[in-house]
Amino acid sequence: MDVYTGTPISRLEIVESGGRRRFSDEAKLRIVEESYSGRRLGSATARKYGITRSQLNEWRDAARAGRFGPASRAGFVPAVIVPEVAAATGPLMANGSGRIEIVTANGRRVLVDRDVDVEALIRVVQALERLT
């Protein structure tokens, strides 16, 4: 019988077993929201949390469908295309440029010209969404 007489083991390393992990609906929703934030790519978010891109896309679809509860639809607003009123004769319509109406989740409305500064518009819409 051999007896180990070398140096004693001073460190024990635990290696992940690769078993299935479970995420709560709240955690899934938080990961989905992070994947849409800023300029972060979905693949980078998936890599950060150790999930596949396809899993993240399934979670995104589930969030859009509201399967993570009523809070999962809070960040997603349906887009509606409406015909422009022919009688409108404002300064935006006089030069032939188009305009868009944005309605935030809390009901605030913003009308902008197609030549709007997108970064400024994002800041304005985010500020309006924070208002109660």
What's the average pLDDT block by block, 10 residues per block, for the chain (132 residues)? 66 65 88 78 86 91 82 59 60 60 80 84 82 67
Query: Residue 34's pLDDT is what?
Result: 85
Per-domain boundaries in the chain: 25-73, 91-130
**Residue-level pLDDT at 92:** 45
Q: How far apart are CA 113 and CA 117, in angstroms?
A: 9
Q: For residues 22 and 28, what is the distance between their CA atoms, to the nearest angstrom?
A: 10
* Residue 55 pLDDT: 93
pTM: 0.43
pLDDT of residue 130: 78
pLDDT at 54: 92
What is the per-residue pLDDT for 126?
A: 82
Q: According to the model, what pLDDT value does residue 17 have?
A: 60
Q: What pLDDT was estimated at residue 57?
A: 92
pLDDT at 66: 81
Q: What is the pLDDT of residue 100?
A: 83
What is d(CA 30, CA 7) in angstroms, rounded to the nearest whole number?
46
